Amino acid sequence: MPHLIQVLGPGCIKCERLAKNVELVTTELGLDCRIEKITDIEKITEFGILMTPGLVIDGEVRSTGRVLTPPQLRELLS
């Protein structure tokens, strides 16, 4: 079953950078996953996110308020 990775944020530069880093790392690792970008504020608040960008992996909030680097993402996803 593929992983679901969600990037939460209104589409700001930091949110876009996190999304690109996620795409880069999942491709490098050859992961079977689906990546969603969630920009709807109501949906974002349902996760309890107060600061964006947020990163949710398989329904679990893993990061808020910062752009994870590719090495940090590799550690989370390995």
Enumerate domains of the chain plus CATH numbers: 3-77 (3.40.30.10)
pLDDT of residue 11: 87
* 33 assigned to active site: no
| pTM for the whole structure | 0.93
pLDDT of residue 63: 97
Integer Cα distance of 19 and 41 in angstroms = 17
pLDDT of residue 13: 96
pLDDT of residue 78: 83
Integer Cα distance of 20 and 47 in angstroms = 21
Among the listed residues 15, 44, 56, 68, the single catalytic one is 15
Integer Cα distance of 53 and 44 in angstroms = 10
pLDDT of residue 69: 97
Structure-block tokens of residue 35: 């990546």
pLDDT of residue 38: 97
Positions in the chain whose pLDDT score sits under 70: 1
For residue 40, which phi and psi values (nearest 5 degrees)?
-75, 120
Among the listed residues 4, 12, 41, 51, the single catalytic one is 12
